[in-house]
Amino acid sequence: MIKKILIAFLCVVAHGVFAQNGTISPYSYFGIGDHRDNGAVDTQMMGGVSMYGDSIHINLSNPAAYSKLRLTAYTAGISHKEYRLKSWDEQQNASVTNLDYLSIGFPLARNVGFGFGLMPFSSVGYSLTSTSANGEITNVFEGEGGLNRVYASIGFEPIKNLSLGVTANFNFGNLEYQRVQSVEGVQFGTLDNRESSVNGYDFNYALNYTPTIKDKYTLYTSVLINTQGNLVSKNNQTLGSFSLSNGNNVEVVDVDLDASNLRNTELKIPTRTTMGLGFGENKKWFLGAEYSFQKMSDFENTFLGLDNVDYSDASTYALGGYWIPDYRALTGYLNRITYRAGLRYDVTGMVVNNKEINNFGITFGLGLPLGADFSNLNVGFELGRRGTTDANLIEESYFKINLGLSLNARWFVKTKIN
């Protein structure tokens, strides 16, 4: 019965990955949309620090950690995000709920683990209105869609304390953009619809070195390289006019993108490198820090042709860890809870109206054991702020709630009484 329920849940959840509208951020207008968190809830709640791996959790960010798996694990995560969007003269509230990932991981042999799954990669979802200084011209910008990701990972430990891993990602999806303009006193408005069908591969490589110190402590070091994503975009554009009185199109024509070499374009997501260092006592406490950098100044989306956005080199600083009072405690449930917290600061590399768009977040959460086995429910929270109200831009303040369910193979075993 449980297996049937799980299969039904997986079908519903898998459909949700492809059907959901993942963001309402105005900054998803740029690039390929908002890049989604690619870590499991337990990783996100440590500020995104991804070097730590254990025997029962799937580490979605670090494929080398699959070498630590000792049990088959099933994991899924959802999130709810509350936004406060503020400009210099207006404020609005909005919210969005999403499926974040659906994954399976299992040991293939001693010190070798494999996993696969699907998750959103980026999301587009915005609705913006701008009016000229004299109030005569109104522009409405709307967008939706996003890219999804199917991945497969393998990690192994060829030498004691040294783990290697690789993830192959296939990214695909549709991005839709619309601009509508109307002029006061003019009977017809104009519209510009653009659509991109995008797909392409990228790879993640990981190296973890975790020597034991004084038979009690562990030093964690890691290097992660997400290779350049070479995405191919097949584009379509239509221009036309419509009646302001009834909204019906008057005339719509397809733009000859072949003549301008914009029918098929490339979107190159630059290589991202992450280095991490941490220290801790296994199954008791851990503290780590990571630094990532990415040459986003090489990115461009020629099809959109936006004049008010540039890209500079991006970087991320993350700090986080966990603490477990006593994971073996037979009494006192609070002693077996995993307490997590972290900080992160993202220099996104996006420069809009000559202003850098950066993000700061504070994360914290709990890992709640489920029953007597190794399954658990991870609950997390994040408070953050992105953007600025300067230069006619929008500041986003957000509160995010994460739920991550991690079930191991023992959870599905039927109890037998002889």
Tell me the per-residue pLDDT of 225-269, one tens digit each, with 9 for 90 and over: 999 989 999 999 999 998 888 878 888 999 999 999 999 999 999
Query: Does a structural domain hold residue 254?
Result: yes
Q: What is the DSSP code (8-state) at residue 36?
A: P
* pLDDT given for residue 7 in this prediction: 47
- In a domain, residue 195? The reply is yes
For range 80-87, the mean pLDDT: 93
Residue 417 located in a structural domain:
no
Q: Is residue 114 part of a domain?
A: yes
Arithmetic mean of pLDDT, 352-364: 95
Q: What is the pLDDT of residue 352?
A: 92
Q: What is the mean pLDDT of residues 21-32?
A: 85
Would residue 154 count as lying in a domain?
A: yes
- Tell me: pLDDT of 2 over 70: no
Question: In terms of residue numbers, what domain contains 291?
Answer: 2-412
Whether residue 69 has pLDDT greater than 80: yes
| Overall number of domains in the chain | 1
> What mean pLDDT do residues 300-326 have?
91
Could you report the per-residue pLDDT of 125-159, keeping only the tens digit for each?
A: 988 888 877 778 999 999 999 999 999 999 999 99
Gap between the Cα atoms of 194 and 141, Å rounded: 11
pLDDT at position 414 is 53
Model confidence at 412: pLDDT above 80? no
> Residue 343 maps to which CATH number?
2.40.160.60
Instruction: Pick from 26-30, 110-114, 414-418 the range whose average pLDDT is largest.
Output: 110-114
State yes or no: pLDDT of 13 exceeds 60: no
Q: How far is CA 334 from CA 81, 113, 254, 326, in A?
A: 27, 31, 63, 9
3-state secondary structure of 410: helix
- Is residue 418 in a domain? no
Task: Scan for tokens 């929270």, then name that residue.
Answer: 381
Question: pLDDT tens across 151-200, in order?
Answer: 999 999 999 999 999 999 999 999 999 999 998 888 898 999 999 999 99
What pLDDT score was predicted for residue 67?
A: 96
- Produce one character per residue of 279-302: b if its CB has 16 or more CB atoms within 10 Å, e if not: bbeeeebbbbbbebbbbbeebbbe
pLDDT over 70 at 79, yes or no: yes
Identify the pLDDT of residue 16: 47
User: Is the pLDDT confidence value at 216 over 70?
Assistant: yes
Q: Among the residues of 20-103, which ranges form H helices?
A: 41-44
Q: What is the mean pLDDT of residues 315-319?
A: 97
What CA–CA distance (Å, rounded) separates 92 from 335?
41
Which one has a higher pLDDT value, 414 or 364?
A: 364
- Residue 383 CA to residue 298 CA, distance in Å, equals 30
DSSP codes, 113-133: EEEEEEEEEEEEEEEEEEE-T
Task: Please tell me the predicted confidence (pLDDT) of residue 11.
Answer: 53
Indicate whether 97 belongs to any domain.
yes
Distance from C-alpha of 37 to C-alpha of 187, rounded to nearest angstrom: 45
Residue 5 confidence (pLDDT): 41
Residue 68 has pLDDT above 50, yes or no: yes
* Residues pairing with 148 in the sheet: 120, 172
pLDDT digits (tens, 9 = 90+) for 274-288: 999 999 999 899 999
Tell me which residue of 352, 346, 363, 361 sits closest to 388, measured CA to CA. 352
What percent of the chain lies above the pLDDT cut of 90? 69
The pLDDT of residue 96 is above 70: yes
Averaged over 98-109, what is the pLDDT? 94
> Is the per-residue pLDDT at 114 higher than 80?
yes
Task: Tell me the pLDDT band of 391, cut-offs 50, 70 and 90.
Answer: confident
Residues 6 or more apart whose Cβ sits within 8 Å of residue 51: 62, 208, 220, 221, 222, 276, 277, 278, 288, 290
Give a yes or no: residue 45 inside a domain: yes
What is the average per-residue pLDDT within 32-48?
92
Structure tokens at 184: 């006061």
Give the rounded percent of residues in the chain with a pLDDT score beyond 70: 92
CB atoms within 10 A of CB 328: 8
Give the mean pLDDT of the chain: 89
Least confident window among 1-5, 314-318, 352-356:
1-5
